[in-house]
Structure 1
């Protein structure tokens, strides 16, 4: 139920945000799907390839650009790691 609330809030927030495109939406939805598989924890710990697979995004460059934009626009908090053997943290703004 919380994921549905987050998704609904996201769609309401982006309604007039011209910066958000379909790739951003795909990533946000994939993050929620990934989170659902992890018992709705916050933050989630994920490798980019795991989210790319769910979102059907092939290019790592596109993924990183869009997830960083989602962070800078305030839709998520993205804490990347430079260590390829460690997952990045993605926080959702929950009430």
Structure 2
């Protein structure tokens, strides 16, 4: 094992831990959020953390398909966040 791959393994482990901590803190905000806006932002942050986990997993396994999966998850996360915010503000999604 070369030193470059050892550093990459350490960086990947640190990234997984940081993303896991962010996901846990977002879940806490989702449950304990004082307002609905905080809960929507927590859900959006959880989508972003999930994107990070998938990207780091793709780097770790060396599979390029994961990056295409992240694009799909990002689009679905954006649309769902907008739809949820619109539902909370107006009471309906489609006018």
Query: What TM-score does the superposition give when structure 2 sets the normalisation length?
Result: 0.36
Structure number having the greater helix percentage: 2
Return the index of the structure with the highest Cα Rg: 2
Query: What TM-score does the superposition give when structure 1 sets the normalisation length?
Result: 0.36
Higher relative contact order (CA 8 A, sep 6+): 1
